[in-house]
Structure 1
Amino acid sequence: MHSPPPPGQDRDAPGPSPDPDGWWLAAIMNGAFVVLLAGALIRFVDRHPDSGRLPWVIGLSAALAVLQFAGRRPGRRREPLPRRWELARLTALVACWIVVVLLAPSFAWCAVPLIYTGLRSLPTRAAVALVAVLAVLVVIAEVRLADGTDPNLVLLPPAVATLATAVFVHMRRQTGRQQALIDDLIRTRRELAATERREGTLAERQRLSMEIHDSLAQGLSSQRMLLQAADRIWDTEPGTARGHVRTATAVAEQNLAEARRFVHDLAPAALVGQELDDALRALAAHRSEQPGLTVRCHVEGAPVPLPDRTRSALLRIAQGALANTAEHAAAAHATITLTYLDDQVLLDVSDDGRGFDPAAVSPTGVRGHGLPAIRARVRQLGGTLTVESAPGEGTVLSAAVPLEAAP
């Protein structure tokens, strides 16, 4: 389906050439016109050398040749004449041809290239009318040249003109439809590219928000808790308070490394130089050093190599789950369990905190950014997320990721 022409545009306006590289067809038509014109002129000069019409015939032949090539630049890339000049050229060309045919009927078959020129330059209806006039004049000229009555002289020119016109009009319409389809495809491709750019922008924003939440925001939250704990016991337990400050400093250094790698879009700092198992154990040990929460880590099954994308996402999921535990659950103990199965890897994070009602938490994140970010990461890996919890009974978060899902 193609769009209708804009308001004010003639539906029968001349379209593009049937062949995008139609220069060769124009060259053939121009060459045929010159050959027919030269043949008719030679015939007239040979048979009527003393005719008083000879100067007129020679002059009109020269005028026809000049008009046929007027404004035509050599080569394939030729700029067309402005429309008003093209119509003026065609009018002068047809007028000269009519006069020379009345003077010398042998010029009648020069109408064949003129038919092509008219069909290419005029709207369809005007071109058909011009072809009809040219066909009638050719019939008259052929009858004048003939010695007797021949039905072919009356039937052949209209038949040839009708056939040529039908083929050209059909090709023009086919070309118009193809051009409209190409325009639709180009427009659709541009719209699709714009949509992909918008979706890519939104996905990148979501990724950035998750990365910031799972790395920098968690580190800042840990520093705040450590510094608040140090402030409360600074006068009574200065040694313990200094330990909290040193731990906060270590967290700040880790956050700085995360920020630098985050800017360069590299893997999490905890995964540099070690596997996911070691990174989870280091995460559990680091969290246990902070007051109020003890974290253990278990690895079950035979470890298998995981894609970087899966390793990074599972580590972020564990970090986000522990951050939720520390911030919302008021738990004393938490456990990270990484299980390798034949076709998937499971990450479970459980705690003994206050729990909550999962049905009361909307997927869009009424409870904060942590759980929606975890859901998004698991969904990107083609996995499933299960949250089991109840008020007063703790929480178990389980992420199952297929091993073949991540590239």
Structure 2
Amino acid sequence: MSGMTIEQRWEAFFRYGPYLLLGVAGLMAFLSADVVGMTGTERRVAVAAAGAACALQLWWDRTRAGLTGNHPAGRAYYALRTLVAFVLCWVNPFFSIYAIMGYFDSGHLLPRRFVRAGLLCTAVIMAGAQCGSGLPPASAANWAAFAALFVLHFSLALVFGNISERESERTEQQKETISELERANTRLEEALAENAALHVQLLVQAREAGVADERRRLAAEIHDTLAQGLTGIIAQLQAAASTADPALAREHLDRAAGLARHSLGEARRSVHDLVPSALVDDDLPGALKTTVTEWARRTGVQAEFTVTGTVEPLHDEVGATLLRIAQEALANAARHADAGRAGVTLSYMGDEITLDVRDDGRGFDPAVPPPRGSTGGFGLVGMRARAERIAGMVEVESEPGLGTAVSARVPLVRRA
């Protein structure tokens, strides 16, 4: 009981209280039958009325589950129970212990305009049972006692009535507050659903941009997979050819073979527009960390990877876009920057996610177009095109001799 709310305690009382009070009243009536002078007929009436009270309570327990307040069935139950209590108190005043239930649930079972009438009936029964001679009073003294007790009980009835009204008002206020919270939650859920739908619509529209966009995508994928892979293979083969150490040459050849297999797999995935293999069994931070580590081992450039903010599961298109941008930025740093250090930072920033790739290489002037035949310009264009496909953007900051910083910012679209 200690863990129950006030409403749950009242509910338990309304369900089990009548049985408990009727049992106590029946026991007291049985023990006092000779004292109050109950006849054989009165005893049979008491037994029959007590049985009727139990049957009435069983019927009400089964009926009230699906009913709301002030239902006609509740009024009928209250009236019949009051009548049974009157009969019981007529034959033995100790049954007033059972009749007192009428004070507690009148506000729940009766309309507001009938609550005081119900309490008045209960007050009459209680005063008659306690006046000394039962109902009806047998003498003037009993009538005087009845009048005094009636005034007392009627005052109690008014008190109970006021308490019941305040309880009903408080219950209505709680229901209204709960309803308002539910409406607010519904509006919030609708707003969140609308926001998610807008993000999904944005991605769908980006993926259905047309044949021209698909051609650009394939060109960028080929550049990011085959071109980068071939560049790495050539570098490993040149290193193998320039060394006289068979073990070191074998190591370079193994790396070249590994790059060839990886590039072939990535090319196949690109043709079918699948996510990069690095994201199949790992999230974006893990894939980026692996990419940076392998790049540093292959190029000999010291590189660090950092994650800020709370990591969240990303839509496949967002993760693939940022991974490809990081790979292209690192590839450019290896081919053109002659850098000694590089850093990659992935930042989760609420509704956005940013990727920053920095190096301390020779840098360049972004306003000067790249030489004809150079792939650097296509790499920058490809990175910007990838970000724009998902409503993002790429910014490049660089100066000759001061290194290069590539910053990509895209919406943070969570995985469904």
Q: More helix per residue: 1 or 2?
A: 2
Q: TM-score if structure 1 supplies the norm length? A: 0.48
| Bigger RCO of structures 1 and 2 (CA < 8 A, at least 6 apart) | 1
